[in-house]
Amino acid sequence: MQNNWWEDLARITQQCADIGDYRRFYEALKTVYGPTHQIQSPLRSSDGQQLLTEKADILTRWVEHFNTLFSTDRSVQDAALHRIPHLPLIEELDDPPTLEETITAIGQLKSHKAAGIDGIPPEIWKKGGVVLHGKLH
């Protein structure tokens, strides 16, 4: 009887894959492999002697780790700083963009994308153009 169940499940799984019914295909796979569940991995204590398996202990250990990581005074050796290559400054990057650069950038916006930080969708920028000096571009 159990063999028939497996054969039926295999047949259904293959049919779903053949016709592209991926929802039922994955449901059949879940039936075979069982539902997935998250496993909390054990973690060692700060001294490395004890294996922590309880969720509360593991979370407490992570808090200790990040508190240590971010509260430690850090120092950088001068020799390391001198090894960093110094690139020339490109001062023209400090200038505001020109009208032509702005129009080009607006033209390169992709339509049907989420609005940016200003909340204005790209279609508004592209169709509305740039209004400067009383002209609509």
Burial class (CB in 10 A: 0-12, 13-18, 19+), 43: middle
Rounded CA-CA distance 63/56 in Å is 11
Rounded CA-CA distance 27/22 in Å is 8
Span 64-100, pLDDT tens digits:
988 888 887 778 888 988 999 999 999 989 999 998 9
Asked if pLDDT for residue 40 goes beyond 80, the answer is no
Model pTM score: 0.33
Span 19-28, pLDDT tens digits:
888 888 888 8
Q: Return the percentage of the chain with pLDDT > 90, whole number.
A: 15
Tokens of 96: 């505001």
